[in-house]
Amino acid sequence: MPIDIVQQDTIASHIKRQCSPQPSVIVIGAGISGIAAARRLYDASFKVTVLESRDRVGGRIHTDYSFDCPVDMGASWLHGVCNENPMAPLIRGLGLKLYRTSGDDSILYDHDLESYMLFNMDGHQVPPQMVTEVGDTFKRIMEETEKVRDDHPDDMSVHQAISIVLNRHSELRKQGLAHEVLQWYICRMEAWFAADADMLSLKTWDQANVLSGGHGLMVQGYDPVIKALAKDLDIRLNHRVIKISNGCNKAMVTVEDGRNFVADAVLVTVPVGVLQANLIEFIPKLPDWKVAAIKDLGVGNENKIALRFDKVFWPNVEFLGIVAPTSYACGYFLNLHKATGHPILVYMAAGRFACDLEKLSNESTVNFVMLQLKKMFPGASNPIQYLVSRWGSDPNSFGCYTYDLVGKPDDLYDRLRAPLGNLFFGGEAVCMDDHQGSVHGAYSAGIMAADNCHKYILEKQGHMENPPLVSVRHEILETTIPLQISRM
Ligand SMILES: Cc1cc2nc3c(=O)[nH]c(=O)nc-3n(C[C@H](O)[C@H](O)[C@H](O)COP(=O)(O)OP(=O)(O)OC[C@H]3O[C@@H](n4cnc5c(N)ncnc54)[C@H](O)[C@@H]3O)c2cc1C
């Protein structure tokens, strides 16, 4: 029996009408987490309806095809190119290619220094040896911040810790061009967290459990993964949820146009930025401990400006960086030509700078980015097409992914993921094992929330033994070809 759609009705009257033994769940959000959860429950014979506010699936995974080739404007890397990555079976099974941009423990996170070129604001290339040397200094500085952490029981920002290190070790201070290169390393670190160093918690910034195998760009984009997981699911696009009422073993979800959906349980996977903005009313109100956990999490911002040219005029390196006196003013382009063969550069901005760029029109943003590019390559042609993301001001995301603010309470994530009766929480921010902010973390969080929901409902129905769960579509999992990884 399908989940009822009702006008202005009460939960109680629905309970009377619904005698179906098939358990029903409403999943809110059709990002990777929501779709993974829905798939899991659908495969376990639950009646699942996914309500999605946008006119597309994928959420912060968004592969754009308007350049006649896939360009990921949201997530584009698989962080952890290894079989332990929960996404690996799906990516392997779909035969998707990965282009590895870095190995393990790179100082530049998802890049390494094998294929780079840095320039100063005057367009002069920074000698590669200087980049390597300053990289070693950066590494030392960050190692020294561990001692600062040991000396200070109270948390502080990474920026503050770097200042303390530079006061303690004047030999690590850099001048002139080398200082600018150091700022560029800080810019790269900030881009990883999508937040400025003065916002990041010293206590936890390097404690994440990074999977092995380095970082691989999804050459064909992330979209095929979303499409495969979403196949056959009942996903209602343009359904913006504004209210969730739960209790009495049922839950009712109200969308913008006033329609109500009723099910045995609800699984919320909307971004933390959306929860922080109070765009969804919860009845009864969320408890104070849950509200505080939502509020106490940092939400970063990162934007991409993708530029398609008629021909390649830049060198055959993976990325092109611009160094400057502050990390805010540094920047870099990812060269998609190297990984995909298409003449595309993607400028990437993070933290406050990404928010400031969103205040400009698309045209002004592209002009700004082109000024940067023309400093490096005065003969650069103008792009024939461009794409500009606005993750920070998009009411469907309000940011790109979460990070730990200074002074984050230890139990924050436990509170964030804790279910409230038949109300369950998924999404990137609630994943276990410190994989927040990633596609695989969001995927795992969806699976975990689905399993908790499954167990809860079957117990309520008096089934003590749960049927075995399957994680993704059988035909995909059954394929055993290895991950396809390249580097040109
Ligand atoms: C620019 C950028 C680059 C990134 N790069 C990488 C990367 O390279 N590798 C990586 O692993 N991760 C990366 N990430 C992070 C990764 O994309 C996310 O962690 C992951 O996609 C989050 O999935 P999710 O399902 O938790 O949330 P989302 O994908 O945001 O899904 C939530 C869904 O809820 C919907 N929604 C919101 N409000 C409502 C409402 N009121 N009613 C109904 N639906 C609603 C949204 O439209 C959305 O579809 C990046 C993110 C961004 C933005």
- Residue 54 Cα, ligand 1 centroid: separation in angstroms? 12
Element (H, E) at 235: strand 234-236
Burial of 50 (0-12, 13-18, 19+ CB in 10 A): buried
Query: What distance in Å separates the CA atoms of residue 338 and residue 487, rounded to the nearest whole number?
Result: 9
49, 53, 60: residue to mutate for ligand 1 pocket, most atoms within 8 A of CB: 60
Contact status, residue 377 vs residue 317, Cβ threshold 8 Å: no
Query: What distance in Å separates the CA atoms of residue 168 and residue 183, rounded to the nearest whole number?
Result: 19
pLDDT for 297: 97
253, 270, 278: residue to mutate for ligand 1 pocket, most atoms within 8 A of CB: 270
Q: Residue 469, Cβ neighbours under 10 Å: how many?
A: 14
Q: Whose CA is nearest to atom 7 of ligand 1?
A: 75
Query: What distance in Å separates the CA atoms of residue 187 and residue 179, rounded to the nearest whole number?
Result: 12
Any binding-site annotation on 347? Answer: yes
Atom nearest to 60 CA in ligand 1: 29
Question: Three-state secondary structure along 307-332?
Answer: EECCCCCCCCCCEEEECCCCHHHCEE
**Domains, in order of start, for the chain:** 5-59+222-296+409-482 (3.50.50.60), 105-209+302-357+359-392 (3.90.660.10)
pLDDT for 176: 97
Q: Whose CA is nearest to atom 14 of ligand 1?
A: 75
- Residue 33 Cα, ligand 1 centroid: separation in angstroms? 8
- Residue 162 Cα, ligand 1 centroid: separation in angstroms? 31
Residues in the chain predicted with pLDDT less than 50, given as ranges, are 1-10, 12-17, 20, 470-471, 473-475
Taking the complete model, does pTM exceed 0.85, yes or no? yes
Q: Whose CA is nearest to atom 21 of ligand 1?
A: 60
- Residue 348 Cα, ligand 1 centroid: separation in angstroms? 17
Atom nearest to 389 CA in ligand 1: 1
- Residue 271 Cα, ligand 1 centroid: separation in angstroms? 7
Query: What distance in Å separates the CA atoms of residue 33 and residue 439, rounded to the nearest whole number?
Result: 8
Q: What is the DSSP string of 120-177?
A: -TTSPBPPHHHHHHHHHHHHHHHHHHHHHHHH-SS--BHHHHHHHHHHH-GGG---HH
Residue 354: partners with Cβ closer than 8 Å, 6 or more residues away: 194, 301, 302, 303, 391, 392, 400
Q: Residue 411, Cβ neighbours under 10 Å: how many?
A: 11
Contact status, residue 108 vs residue 348, Cβ threshold 8 Å: no
401, 403, 417, 433: residue to mutate for ligand 1 pocket, most atoms within 8 A of CB: 401
Per residue in 412-434, pLDDT (tens digit) is 999 999 999 999 999 999 987 77
- Residue 323 Cα, ligand 1 centroid: separation in angstroms? 30
Determine phi and psi for 66, rounding to 5 degrees. -70, -15
Contact status, residue 217 vs residue 344, Cβ threshold 8 Å: no
Measure Cα distances from 195 to 10, 99, 363, 433 in Å: 44, 26, 25, 21
Measure Cα distances from 192 to 12, 206, 354, 402, 412 in Å: 48, 11, 13, 11, 21
Cα angle 173, 174, 178 (rounded to 5 degrees) comes to 155
Residues with CB under 6 A from ligand 1: 28-34, 51-54, 59-61, 74-77, 79, 240-241, 269-271, 274, 279-280, 302, 304, 391, 396-397, 400-401, 427-428, 437-439, 442
Rounded to the nearest 10 degrees, what angle do helices 128-151 and 176-193 cross at?
60
Q: Whose CA is nearest to atom 50 of ligand 1?
A: 75
Burial of 485 (0-12, 13-18, 19+ CB in 10 A): middle
Any binding-site annotation on 268? Answer: no
pLDDT for 433: 75
- Residue 169 Cα, ligand 1 centroid: separation in angstroms? 41
- Residue 472 Cα, ligand 1 centroid: separation in angstroms? 19
Tell me which residue of 4, 45, 49, 57 sits closest to 25, measured CA to CA: 49
Sheet containing 484-486, strands listed edge to edge, beginning at the edge strand earlier in sequence: 77-79, 215-218, 97-102, 484-486
Q: Whose CA is nearest to atom 53 of ligand 1?
A: 400
Any binding-site annotation on 33? Answer: yes
Contact status, residue 313 vs residue 379, Cβ threshold 8 Å: yes
pLDDT for 461: 84
Contact status, residue 134 vs residue 147, Cβ threshold 8 Å: no
Tell me which residue of 248, 261, 251 sits closest to 423, measured CA to CA: 251
